Amino acid sequence: MSDEAERAAAALAAGKLVILPTETVYGLAADAANAEAVARLYEAKGRPRFNPLIAHVADLAAAERVAAFDARARALAEAFWPGPLTIVAPLKDPLRVCDLARAGLDTVAVRAPAHPLARRVLEAFGRPVVAPSANRSGRPSPTTFADAVEETGAAAAMALDGGDCPVGLESTVVTVLEDVRLLRPGAVTREDLLEVVGAVAEAEGDARRSPGRLAAHYAPDAPVRIEAISAAPGEAFIGFGDVGSGDWNLSPSGDLREAAANLFRMLREADRTRPSGIAVAPVPDRGLGEAINDRLRRAAGQVG
């Protein structure tokens, strides 16, 4: 019997979809070069075809076969890979990551994930794998195996259980084009990026470069109210630190890493109790708090 990473690689090579754990969130994976498989992937998620996918690769050498990395992109990859950073750079090889996967753009998003099971699948497959978060479009990303299977398991030929995702938020996305621009905050924080590249520009007002950020995202079924200090009648309350002591607290000790790891799982758990709404305590905006608040504002429909 071959091991599950090899069986997953074989399923991908046969054009099938595979639920794949990463350190950030669970992904729904397909062969990046196979347009038919990628079409089924958009279909399974209900994802608009103008929203391009991330090509996952084993390492920097594999990334540079797909994308044209300059010194800044290379420095970022060396600092943060394998890990939760996605780099958007000019496309080098249009065949390795098909047109549909890039939504026709002349740039490509690449990331080398750190999760050991994802790495074994990428090494066994030997070519880029596109993997959007395994949720149906618009919903919170799954951070547990059970949530991933509930969201898109019906479309997948295979689902790999890698346990709970330790980071819990999707990767930081930066473009490295004319300037270095932060498209999506994540676990690699703005401060982390600034230590490697001198300046980081804002994505705001640059929707063309950030196609996936146009619509509301990460939303549970119940309406979400943020920066709340208590629950209204019928509302579920998700606390942080000293604010709230109810069923869910992102981190009783006020730790932002713990809060990020818990965020989507708790939103989903609270939503399952069918509350009239979900109120969430304030989370400070420093460091990882920027990414947490970005997801919360979107869940609350306050897209900036």
Site residues for Mg ion per CB under 5 A: 133
Residue 34 or 141 having the CB closest to Mg ion = 141
Q: Which neighbouring-strand residues pair with 184?
A: 173
**CA-CA distance, 86 to 81, in Å (whole number)?**
9
Shortest reach from residue 17's CB to ligand TXA, in Å: 13
**Residues in contact with ligand TXA, shown as a per-residue x/- string from 164 to 183 under the rule CB under 6 A:** ------xx-x---------x
Q: Rounded to 5, what percent of the chain is helix, strand, coil?
A: 35, 20, 50
| Residue 211 contacts which entry, Mg ion, ligand TXA, none (Cβ below 5-8 A, type-dependent) | ligand TXA
The three-class DSSP label of residue 273 is coil
| Residue 54 contacts which entry, ligand TXA, Mg ion, none (Cβ below 5-8 A, type-dependent) | ligand TXA
**CA-CA distance, 111 to 108, in Å (whole number)?**
10
Contact predicate 138/62, CB 8 Å: no
Residue 15 or 51 having the CB closest to ligand TXA = 51
Residues of this chain, 203-262, that bind ligand TXA according to CB under 6 A: 209-213
Shortest reach from residue 55's CB to ligand TXA, in Å: 8
Shortest reach from residue 201's CB to ligand TXA, in Å: 14
Contact predicate 174/200, CB 8 Å: yes
Contact residue for ligand TXA among 53, 87, 124, 174 (CB under 6 A)? 53
Residues of this chain, 93-122, that bind ligand TXA according to CB under 6 A: 102, 105, 107-109, 111, 113
Does residue 54 touch ligand TXA according to CB under 6 A?
yes
Report the side by side order of strands in the sheet with 277-280.
224-225, 277-280, 235-239, 248-249
Contact residue for ligand TXA among 8, 11, 25, 85 (CB under 6 A)? 25
Report the side by side order of strands in the sheet with 27-31.
158-159, 18-20, 27-31, 129-130, 54-56, 107-111, 85-90, 172-176, 180-184, 201-202
* Structure token digits, residue 127: 């070519």
Does residue 32 touch ligand TXA according to CB under 6 A?
no
Residue ranges binding ligand TXA (CB under 6 A)? 22, 24-25, 27, 51-54, 84, 86, 88, 102, 105, 107-109, 111, 113, 131-133, 170-171, 173, 183-184, 209-213
